[in-house]
């Protein structure tokens, strides 16, 4: 009997300790948010179709976010995504005649500021159940346009200098957009976000200006093939024809669904717990002062 009683007391003690620890952990301030998501990427450039507002190219991302105040946050994010375009999908006759295409695997690293429509409470779990936010910032993009040759192999286009010019595979981007966030538990959010990216290159698709002509490639058959794929043999190989539009830089959009998790850590956490260390204000009840 004594052993049973001792076991019950031990279990009750352990249960009490676990409950107390859970109570403390749930109320410990969490200012750092880890997020991961999936979505689509849509390319806008010389090989895009005018009616392709959203294209189902894959996109994966991960990020860390920190709240500087109850309304403003900062985020560092890494995105991997693909972009693609093909003249064969175009509705215009000129595009089909040009007969160019590309696909690209891309990495983007960005840092943005975030402004929420509704302010958060004095603790992370007192945030609104629904919020709208906007973001803007700066980033770096690595891209590498490729196309398929006669044998079905994927070939990088940048080394071929298909327009007779060299360009970098790294460019600055300006991300900006809007998102909505839903609180699904004290430590989890679900967010849906659409972000547009302005770039400073016109070569995401390896298409920008004019045809340099076959003679400029010194007999490089692969460069000649990818530079000028016009269907009409009479036009193929001529110099100076319009290949792209350099007046409009390329851009893209990322549409994501994200899961956000409040990590059990806080930056500057000792200051953030002051709310719970304050003594209650005294008040009078039946003429006596109570606390």
- Phi and psi (nearest 5°) for 23? -60, -45
- Fold of the 29-267 domain: Porin (2.40.160)
DSSP-based three-state secondary structure for 27: helix
Output the tens digit of pLDDT for each of the chain's 291 residues.
Answer: 555 445 445 544 444 444 444 444 555 668 889 999 999 999 999 998 876 666 778 999 999 999 898 999 999 999 999 999 999 888 776 888 899 999 999 999 999 999 999 998 778 888 899 999 999 999 999 999 999 998 889 999 999 999 999 999 999 999 999 999 999 999 999 999 999 999 999 999 999 999 999 989 998 999 999 999 998 877 777 788 899 999 999 999 999 999 999 998 767 654 444 433 444 444 444 555 554
Beta bridge partners of 269: none
Radius of gyration in angstroms for the set of CA atoms belonging to the chain, rounded to a whole number: 29
pLDDT at 282: 46
Q: Residue 98: which H helix or E strand, with range?
A: helix 93-98
pLDDT at 62: 98
Q: Residue 278 carries which DSSP code?
A: S
Q: Which of 158, 170, 229, 192 is nearest to 37 (CA)?
A: 192
Cα–Cα distance for residue pair 198/174, rounded to 1 Å: 5
pLDDT at 17: 45
Cα–Cα distance for residue pair 49/125, rounded to 1 Å: 44
Q: Residue 70 carries which DSSP code?
A: S
Query: Which residues neighbour 48 within 8 Å (Cβ) at sequence distance 6 or greater?
Result: 85
Q: What is the DSSP string of 182-241?
A: EE-SSSEEEEEEEEEEEES-S-SSS--SB---GGGGTT-HHHHHHH---S-TTTTT-SS-
C-alpha dihedral (8, 11, 13, 14), degrees to nearest 10: 180
pLDDT at 235: 77
pLDDT at 3: 52
Q: What is the pTM of this model?
A: 0.80
Cα–Cα distance for residue pair 204/182, rounded to 1 Å: 34
**Which two tokens mark 122?**
């004095």
Q: Residue 105 carries which DSSP code?
A: E
Contact (Cβ atoms closer than 8 angstroms) between residue 145 and residue 157: yes
């Amino acid at each position: 009997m004594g052993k049973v009683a001792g076991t019950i007391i031990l279990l009750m003690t352990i249960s009490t300790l676990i409950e107390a620890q859970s109570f403390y952990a749930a109320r410990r301030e969490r200012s750092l948010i880890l997020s991961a998501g999936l979505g689509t990427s849509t390319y806008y450039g010389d090989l895009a179709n005018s009616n392709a507002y959203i294209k189902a190219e894959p996109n994966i991302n991960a990020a860390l976010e920190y709240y500087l105040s109850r309304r403003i946050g900062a985020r560092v994010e890494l995105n991997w995504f693909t972009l693609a375009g093909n003249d064969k999908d175009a509705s215009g006759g000129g595009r089909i005649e040009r007969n160019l295409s590309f696909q690209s695997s891309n990495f983007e690293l960005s840092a943005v500021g975030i402004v929420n429509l509704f302010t958060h409470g004095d603790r992370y779990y007192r945030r609104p159940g629904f919020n709208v936010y906007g973001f803007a910032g700066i980033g770096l993009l690595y891209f590498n346009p490729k196309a398929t040759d006669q044998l079905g192999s994927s070939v990088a286009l940048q080394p071929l200098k298909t327009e007779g010019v060299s360009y970098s595979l790294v460019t600055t981007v300006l991300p900006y957009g809007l998102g909505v966030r839903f609180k699904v538990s004290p430590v989890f959010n679900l967010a849906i976000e659409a972000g547009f990216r302005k770039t400073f290159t016109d070569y995401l698709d390896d298409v920008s200006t004019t045809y340099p002509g076959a003679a400029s490639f010194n007999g490089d058959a692969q460069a000649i093939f990818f530079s000028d794929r016009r269907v009409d043999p009479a036009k193929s190989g001529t110099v100076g024809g319009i290949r792209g539009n350099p007046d409009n830089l390329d851009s893209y959009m990322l549409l994501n669904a994200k899961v956000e998790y409040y990590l059990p850590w806080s930056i500057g956490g000792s200051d953030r717990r002051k709310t719970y260390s304050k003594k209650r204000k005294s008040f009078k009840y039946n003429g006596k002062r109570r606390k």
